Amino acid sequence: MQIKACLETEIAAAKQNWPVLEGGCLGHCYAEPLVLVHNPGFPDLLYGFVNEGLARRLIKDYLLEGDPCLEYLLAAVEENELGLPSLQDFPRGQLEKRILLARCGQIAPGEIRQALARGAYAALASALEQKPEDLLNLVAKSGLRGRGGAGFPAARKWQVCRQTQAAERYLICNADEGDPGAFMDRSLLESDPHLLLEGMLLAAYIIGAKTGFIYVRAEYPLAIARLQTALKQAQELNLLGENILGSNFSFKLQIFQGAGAFVCGEETALLASMQGYAGLPSPRPPHPAETGYLGQPTVINNVKTLCFLPSVLAGNKPDTLLLALAGQIPNPGLLEVPLGTSLSEIIQIGGSGQDFKAVQLGGPSGSCLPRELLNLPLDYETLQTTGAIMGSGGVIVLNQQDCMVETARYFLEFTQQESCGKCSFCRLGTQQMLNILNRIVQGEGQKGDLELLQELAEGVKLGSLCNLGKTAPNPVLSSLKHFRSEYLAHIEKKQCPALACSALIEYYILPERCERSCDICLGKCPVEAIFSNEQRIKVIDPDKCIKCDSCLPACPPQYQAIIKRPKYI
Amino acid sequence: MLIDGQKVPVQPGQTILEAALTNQIFIPHLCGSKHLGGCRLCLVQVGSKIKAACTQKAEPGLVVQTRTPQVNKLVKMAWELLVASHQMRCAECSQAADCQLKKIARLHSLPLPTRTFPALSQEKITLSGDLIWLKGQCLFCGKCIEQCQQVGQGILGMAGKGEKRRLALWLNPNSCRDCQKCLGLCGALVKAGN
């Protein structure tokens, strides 16, 4: 926003009326803030790590005087005659196949005309001239799966909804993305809201729905604002509302803001929440496709599933995966890769190095995969053989400094807090599992804990009512399977191999490396646990130290006197 | 329908649990007449899948097993989890004579009291005037809520989520007519002073 204001001031000062538009996500999150400059006569150029100085230069030197400041260029957006490197030349660009993200970042999400110029609503226009049954067959043939995590064939769900006799049918888009570390749906909504609108229109036409809702978390204010703008613009062009584009098809679309309970991403809980009840899941069957919103057949699909539709109806295969790459890596971001890409290719793009330990795939309902499993191709069938699930598509890279027990504990704590509390396995079982894990990371683990944990995890997985409970033990089960030695180190030796669990480590200042004239760590300690002895060597009082990790990064790199080491109990 | 090898007639609309109970086959459960799928004690094996008997519709031809090793293990675990959340103050409990937990323990030969898991919260919450809810006794069976609806009040309900889930009075706490029907059903609802 600062950069935008700076650009606007600079343009005003130059007495020009060039528009500064908010763009979407290109996936190169590591290089933000990003500015894309469209200057007639040049290819569209993208600049990363933009500060106010560079923003001023872009206006003065590039737009006014024609010097594109190539030393600051990140890339050209497309291949060009000048031979400038383009986004496709990045390792990421070579691997990627952008179906969902085709327009993301390249159009201003607030301008419907930019989306139209790049093909938005073209699939709708041609679909309205065909029969819904034919379109459904096309979707069935393409093999489109639900992208919310479970991977259920979309066409089969729609078929059930179409076949059920009813006065009214509803279409709901599930945009209640709540996994920690996942931002695929949000990026799509913020960057290309018209893609979702078109997808929903197509799905509604196929199933025969006249009313649709977008269930989006209230924590996504920008996504909601951009959706509202998109809805308004689509209505003005008769792309929504009565007799769309002169056909017999009419469709109303509303935004419903969820209050932020993770469990409301579960479709029966989502329906309960939309009808004014507490967001509690209920047993299926009956499936919402038979009895859903207000008792009528209702199709609930994830954002990504619906966003695939325009491309699927244009004859393409929905053969990509949208991934949010995060964790301890230099290049996090949003990626769309072909199905079957291996995890190792993906984490290489993130820039993970020697330090790599594991990948957490699919957030709190997903699994930890170790180095040995990285060469598996990422697709639904192969993943199932390893017991992992695709989940929402969050990929979190963990390295040697991340403790697997703590990671499992963190995800379980999340699901335990987000459990609705309706069924005993999820309400009580996750609590007991969390108690055991809390004890283990505190160094109070006992013999037999792992067996009990395993037994509990399997029980919760089988016995819970809804998919939140059924998948909640996955992080624990997978880390127990692949990283059992770390659990054993915590329990038997009371040590954390990653030096991450604060109860099992201590901070220590190496006297031979400590520089007498330097007092930086002393000032950084919030609890005055560091003191200077008679030789002016700094010492940490372990009784006062709260292990906040303030001192370690403060110690200048030329000394590196402060270390973490296992606490000897 | 077959339940543990025994032929059981199926009425339309019945759940497996209802069909079993009307034919004198006991499947452990805590709920009253309204089945919520919450306690998970009525898990049974239908074909190769584990289902809750209280919410699964009974259909002719179903083969239901209530005592496979897997079902036994799950029921035992659900029972142990509930026991850990339950204080077992049987001497003070109004339901001690007809205790479902003990009945299930006898059925599955589980020793009482077992403590595989440490006990959980023992909060006390005053709902209205002198009506007190003991979290450490409540098994979340929902019978009190059902009773409250039957007497035409319908002000008891569940609030909060996860471990903070609790019994609550909706609307104005003073709107409780003090019919005390819920007290007779449950050992987790008591009057102050008793």
Distance from CA of B162 to the nearest CA of A (A): 4
- Report mean pLDDT in 10-residue bins for chain B, 194 residues: 90 91 90 82 91 90 91 91 84 84 85 70 80 88 89 86 86 77 87 72
What pLDDT sits at residue B70? 92
How does pLDDT run across A484-523, given as a tens digit for each residue? 999 999 999 999 999 999 899 999 999 999 998 999 999 9
Helix, strand or coil, per DSSP, at residue A38: coil
Contact A428 B84 (CB under 8 A): yes
What pLDDT sits at residue A506? 92
What pLDDT sits at residue B83? 86
Q: Which amino acid is at A330?
A: P
- Convert A43-74 to b/e letters by CB count within 10 Å (16 or more is b): bebbbbebeeebbebbbeebbeeeebeeebbb
Please list every residue in chain A whose beta carbon sits closer than 8 Å to the beta carbon of residue B31: none
What pLDDT sits at residue A49? 92
A278 touches chain B (CB under 8 A): yes
Q: Please name the residues in contact with A534: beta carbons below 8 A apart, sequence gap of 6 or more.
A: none
Per-chain mean pLDDT for chain A? 90
How does pLDDT run across A11-64, given as a tens digit for each residue? 999 888 898 998 888 888 888 899 999 888 888 899 999 999 999 999 988 988
What pLDDT sits at residue A545? 93
Mean pLDDT for the stretch of residues A251-276: 90
Q: Between A261, A452, A465, which is nearest B161 by CB?
A: A261
What pLDDT sits at residue A333? 85
What pLDDT sits at residue A276? 87
Q: Please name the residues in contact with A247: beta carbons below 8 A apart, sequence gap of 6 or more.
A: A128
Mean pLDDT for the stretch of residues A229-253: 93
Closest residue of A to B55, CA-based?
A283
Residue A472's pLDDT band, with cuts at 50, 70 and 90, is very high
Helices (H), A419-554: 424, 430-441, 449-463, 467-471, 474-482, 484-488, 520-524, 551-554
Contact B36 A422 (CB under 8 A): yes
What pLDDT sits at residue A95? 86
pLDDT at residue A261 above 90? no
Mean pLDDT for the stretch of residues A170-186: 89
Q: Give the closest residue to B139 by CA, choosing from A424, A133, A218, A494.
A: A424
Q: A335 with A351: CB under 8 angstroms? A: no
A182 touches chain B (CB under 8 A): no
A296 touches chain B (CB under 8 A): no
What pLDDT sits at residue A236? 94
For chain A, give me the number of helices (H) and strands (E)? 23, 16
CA atoms within 13 A on the CB side of A165: 0
A287 touches chain B (CB under 8 A): no
Please list every residue in chain A whose beta carbon sits closer than 8 Å to the beta carbon of residue B36: 422
Contact B118 A455 (CB under 8 A): no
A502 touches chain B (CB under 8 A): no
List the structure tokens of B41. 């004690």
Q: How far apart are CA A42 and CA A44, in angstroms?
A: 6
Q: Let me know the angle formed at the C-alpha of A75 by A71 and A92, rounded to the nearest 5 degrees.
A: 130
Q: Please name the residues in contact with B121: beta carbons below 8 A apart, sequence gap of 6 or more.
A: B85, B135, B136, B163
Three-state helix/strand/coil letters over chain B = CEECCEECCCCCCCEHHHHHHHCCCCCCCCCCCCCCCCCCCCEEEECCEEEECCCCECCCCCEEECCCHHHHHHHHHHHHHHHHCCCCCHHHCCCHHHCHHHHHHHHCCCCCCCCCCCCCCCCEEEEECCEEEECCCCCCCCHHHHHHHHCCCCCEEEECCHHHCEEEECCCHHHCCCCCHHHHHCCCEEECCC
Distance from CA of B92 to the nearest CA of A (A): 24
Name the more confident of A390 and A555.
A555
Among the residue ranges A192-201, A262-271, B23-32, B81-90, the one predicted with the least confidence is B81-90
Q: Give the closest residue to A449 by CA, choosing from B113, B70, B109, B118.
A: B118
Please list every residue in chain B whose beta carbon sits closer than 8 Å to the beta carbon of residue A261: 161
Name the more confident of B128 and A208.
A208
Among the residue ranges A195-209, A271-285, A407-421, B168-182, the one predicted with the least confidence is B168-182
What pLDDT sits at residue B163? 85
What residues of B are in the A interface, CB distance below 8 Å? 36-41, 43, 50, 52, 55-57, 70, 73-74, 77-78, 81-82, 84-85, 116-118, 120, 140, 158, 160-165
Mean pLDDT for the stretch of residues A166-173: 92
How does pLDDT run across A53-84, given as a tens digit for each residue? 999 999 988 988 888 888 899 988 888 888 88
Contact A465 B40 (CB under 8 A): yes
Q: How far apart are CA A225 and CA A222, in angstroms?
A: 5
CA atoms within 13 A on the CB side of A177: 25
Contact B74 A282 (CB under 8 A): no
Please list every residue in chain B whose beta carbon sits closer than 8 Å to the beta carbon of residue A421: 140, 158, 160-165
